[in-house]
Amino acid sequence: MEQKYPKTRSEDIVEIIHGVEVKDPYRWLEDTSDPEVQEWIAKQMEFSRKVVESYGDQEPIKERLRELSLFDAMSTKPVVIRKTESGYRFFYLFRYKDDPQMRLCYQDGFDGERVELVNPIDISSESSAKIDCYFPSWDGRKVIYGYSLEGREKTTLRVFDIKYNRLLDDEIANLVFASVVWSGDSSGFYYAVNAFRPDEDDTRVGSVLYHKIGTSNNCDITVYSKDDSRFSYIHLLGFESSNWIVLVNDRGKDKDLLVVHTNFISSETISYNLINNASFLRPRVKEKFLFVLYESPSSSRRVARYQIDSSAFDSIPEQCIILEQSESVFDDIAPLDESLLVVELRNAKSVLVRYILDSDKSEVLYGSDTTVHIKSLSTNDDAKFILFSANSYHRPVSQYVCFQTGKIVPFFEPELNLSPHKYTTEQIWFPSFDGKKIPMFILTKRNIDLEKPHPALLTVYGGFGISQYPAYSPLHVVWNELGGIFIYVNTRGGGEFGRKWHEAGMFEKKIDVIHDLISSADWLYENGFSSPEITGIRGSSNGGLIVTAAMGVFPQKFKSVFAINPLTDMIRYIEDSIATYWISEYGTPKQKEAFKWLYSYSPYHNVNLQEEVPHVMFYVAANDARVSPMHSLKQVANLQSNIGVQSNKSKALLWWKDTAGHTGESSMDNWIDFWALELMFHISSIGIELDDSKSIHNGLTREQNKG
């Protein structure tokens, strides 16, 4: 039976750009506030819901996803440590099994009782509130927390007084990437004002302000304003023992590090630039020392130490290089007495290494015998320990304590119905189109017969120097339990191997990232792991660009494509002012050479109709503050007008989510719906039929193989 797509009008818009005719028939879909566009979205969703209903019952999938998602869990965000009169106080986000979102909690001591401070359900009864950040005062008696609604990345700061168990009246709204440092006496705090777009009408953008508790926001004092017109985000870090503030100006590709000191008595602000144009920068503070892990255009990653004397304002602090990476990539650091703990990336996997300063001694403390991602190192001026989180493909996030002796004990380990030993993770290095060896992690059930093809899902990011680390996800666990192979491809453009690996996937080399993904699929096919008719690809944001571009280059290589908030129109992506932040990654079509490479792979301008196009679903978060929904809307219209609408042909679907943002869903129930939708989309597109059983552990069969 023929299924008709909703009608989409096209316009005869043609521009001549650098001598090339560029058609744009669906430009009218760029304005999502237009009632006509909203009506079009509603009709698309009506069509998509009917298609999704035809997939069958999602409940068996959702039942298992709930088991794998709903358990007592700690966030991957760092545990913040404060020293109080009674000992150490630990602040963190925690979600109980049936919670839709993480709560802000604290506990006194390693074995102390968990105390709830803020429950997002009290902010929004519709489960749409999310705690984005938290900043305890130095004495641990107050905490600033930031929350956002419905996936919007605009944070509102509130102050909670722990000693008197009350919420204070202070409120600062509409902050982006909220960053806060308390004053030494906890009477006020510094905060950064950022914006997603350089043209936002707020004169405070690019500044650091000081707010005194109990006063009006109109009285907030500007203590720093950057004198650089280049668009950037400001991040702050503070010293407990002085009034110096560490400030990072982050422009994406390049970052600067400054230290700033404010004297309210003389109204004088002193600032020193310590590091400029670093491609990677991670500062840490311990007592009067500032430790900085950074990478410059002329060097690999190294660790510098500065002594920040609270009384010395007349000279730039002297830099002392205390450690330089060799073969492994330094990813994070934490000072601990006479040693430095370093998270190293070794072939895209983490290990925690202790280096004894002023010596050649080092030892691996954690991660040498497993595939894991170590992050969120945290400590305190007086602490003789650090906390860190560990995350792996088939084991959710756990938090650990590492003492100065090197002994490591659990701080929190989740319990759920999952046996990690029933799964395997293997790293394979495959040759890409140009012979370059690229790694990928292949996840399967243990004892699966890899002598015959299995349904495969490949996921990719490949941009902005962002590493695709080992991480737990119910999505790939369920796919494995269904008998499928799940692959994480560490293409060029990421940060797994440092600056050069990132640069190998920028500008005109972005096309190499696309071919890395295609080559990974070719390796699977050539080695009998899978085949094109049972393979899907998925990616989000820049990863969404990569998978939709790969679909345009070789549509016959894949059967399903799931693109989450992707970029697709690489000629008009710069029309969104946030793209100022991305030009250093992609280039600008205003320049002739950059236009050539952008136009050559832009998915909107490269629909390959010579081959059958895969099934594709565009998942769009209505509240995405980073990637405009116009990319998905225009490409859905473009594909629907070209690939036909017969029931046995490929389908291009739009899924519009009103309560989601760029970083994901607004509640655990929504996450479960999201994972179930994607799994059912791939299962249906590939032609897999679930067994008639309530338990997905019974696996899957392909319709083509049924007798």
Predicted confidence (pLDDT) per residue in 101-121, tens digit: 999 999 999 999 999 999 999
* More confident: 704 or 177: 177
Q: Is the pLDDT of residue 348 over 90?
A: yes
Q: Do 261 and 281 belong together in one domain?
A: yes
Backbone φ, ψ for residue 391 (5° rounding) = -140, 135
Q: What's the confidence (pLDDT) of residue 231? A: 78
Residues 252, 395 share a domain: no
Mean pLDDT of the residues in the chain: 92
Angle subtended at Cα 18 by Cα 608 and Cα 578, rounded to the nearest 5 degrees: 80
Q: Is residue 48 classed as helix, strand or coil in its secondary structure?
A: helix
Beta-sheet strands, E only, within 194-254:
207-212, 221-225, 233-238, 244-250
Question: What mean pLDDT do residues 578-595 have?
Answer: 94
Q: Which residue has the higher pLDDT, 702 or 620?
A: 620
Q: Examine residue 697 and state whether it is found in any structural domain, yes or no.
A: no
Residue 37's alpha-carbon distances to 7, 393, 601, in angstroms, are 12, 40, 26
Number of domains in the chain: 4
pLDDT at 114: 98
Q: Specify whether the CB–CB gap between 494 and 439 falls below 8 A.
A: no
pLDDT for residue 529 is more than 50: yes
Return the structure tokens found at 48: 């998509």
Give yes or no: residues 372 and 450 share one domain: no
Q: Report how far residue 123's alpha carbon sits from residue 419's, in angstroms, rounded to the nearest whole number.
A: 36
The pLDDT of residue 126: 79
284-293 pLDDT tens trace: 999 999 999 9
What confidence category does residue 128 fall into, taking pLDDT thresholds of 50, 70 and 90?
A: confident
Q: Specify the pLDDT at position 684.
A: 95
User: Which own/partner pairs from 248-255 qualify as long-range (CB within 8 Å, at least 24 positions apart)?
Assistant: 248/281, 248/283, 250/281, 251/581, 251/584, 252/464, 252/581, 252/582, 252/584, 252/585, 253/279, 253/465, 253/584, 253/585, 254/278, 254/279, 254/584, 255/279, 255/280, 255/281, 255/294
Confidence of residue 399 (pLDDT cuts 50, 70, 90): very high
**Residue 696, pLDDT score:** 53
- Does residue 439 register a pLDDT over 60? yes
**pLDDT of the residue at 647:** 42
Q: Is residue 672 part of a domain?
A: yes
State pTM to two decimals. 0.94
Residues 81 and 23 in one domain: no
What is the reported pLDDT for 537?
98
Average pLDDT estimate for 181-208: 89
Query: Final residue of a domain: which of 415, 435, 458?
Result: 415
- Among 306, 324, 342, identify where a domain stops: 324
Cα distances (Å, whole numbers) of residue 664 to 84, 541, 667: 36, 11, 9
pLDDT for the residue 213: 98
Q: Average pLDDT of 10-28?
A: 98
Q: Tell me if 100 is assigned to some domain.
A: yes
Q: How confident is the model at residue 690 (pLDDT cuts 50, 70, 90)?
A: low
The DSSP output letter for 506 is S
In-domain check, residue 436:
yes
Residues 595 and 446 in one domain: yes
| Confidence class for position 195, pLDDT limits 50, 70, 90 | confident
Q: CA 485, 395, 331 angle in degrees (round to 5)?
A: 95
Buried b (16+ CB within 10 A) or exposed e, 389-415: bbbbbbbbbbbbbbeeeeebeebbebe
pLDDT digits (tens, 9 = 90+) for 83-99: 999 999 999 999 999 99
The answer to whether residue 694 scores a pLDDT higher than 50 is no
Residues 501 and 648 in one domain: yes
- Could you report the per-residue pLDDT of 599-657, keeping only the tens digit for each? 999 999 999 877 788 999 999 998 888 899 999 999 999 999 987 643 446 789 999 99
Q: Please check whether residues 648 and 551 belong to one and the same domain.
A: yes
Find the domain containing 331 and state its range: 327-415
Determine, yes or no, domain membership for 661: yes
Give the mean model confidence (pLDDT) for residues 526-530.
97
Confidence band of 200 (pLDDT split at 50, 70, 90): confident
Do 308 and 341 fall into the same domain?
A: no
Tokens of 155: 């944070």
Q: What would the two tokens of residue 523 be?
A: 């390796």
| Two tokens, residue 214 | 């109990």
Q: Give the relative orientation of helices 592-601 and 510-526 as an angle to the nearest 10 degrees.
A: 30
Tell whether 706 is covered by a domain: no
Whether 692 has a pLDDT exceeding 90, the answer reads no
Contact indicator for 198, 207 with CB cutoff of 8 Å:
no
- The answer to whether position 211 is within a domain reads no
Same domain, residue pair 141 and 83? yes
Q: Which helix (H) or strand (E) holds 148?
A: strand 142-149
- CB-count burial class (<10 Å; 0-12, 13-18, 19+) for 110: middle
Q: Which residues pair with 398 in a beta bridge?
A: 390
Q: Please tell me whether residues 448 and 402 are part of one structural domain.
A: no
Q: How far apart (Å, rounded) are the C-alpha atoms in residues 1 and 646?
A: 7
Kindly state the average pLDDT of the residues 655-677.
88
In this structure, what CATH number is given to the domain that contains residue 26? Answer: 3.40.50.1820
CA end-to-end distance (rounded Å), the chain: 25
Under 8 Å between Cβ of 82 and 379: no
Does residue 300 lie within any of the structural domains? yes
Q: Are residues 315 and 335 in the same domain?
A: no
Q: pLDDT by residue (tens digit) across 468-526?
A: 999 999 999 999 999 999 999 999 999 999 999 999 999 999 999 999 999 999 999 99
Residue 451 has pLDDT above 80, yes or no: yes
Identify the residue whose tokens are 């002329």. 298
Q: What percent of the chain has a predicted confidence (pLDDT) above 70?
A: 95
Q: Please, are residues 258 and 327 in contact by the beta-carbon 8 Å criterion?
A: no
- Bridge pairing between strands 652-657 and 615-621: parallel
Last residue of a domain, one of 307, 324, 341: 324
User: Does residue 647 or residue 441 have the better pLDDT?
Assistant: 441
Residues 493, 505 contacting (CB under 8 angstroms): yes
In this structure, are 106 and 243 located in the same domain? no
Mean pLDDT for 188-213 is 89
Residue 156 CA to residue 145 CA, distance in Å, equals 8
For residue 93, give the H/E element and its range.
strand 87-95
**23-38 per-position pLDDT tens digit:** 999 999 999 999 999 9
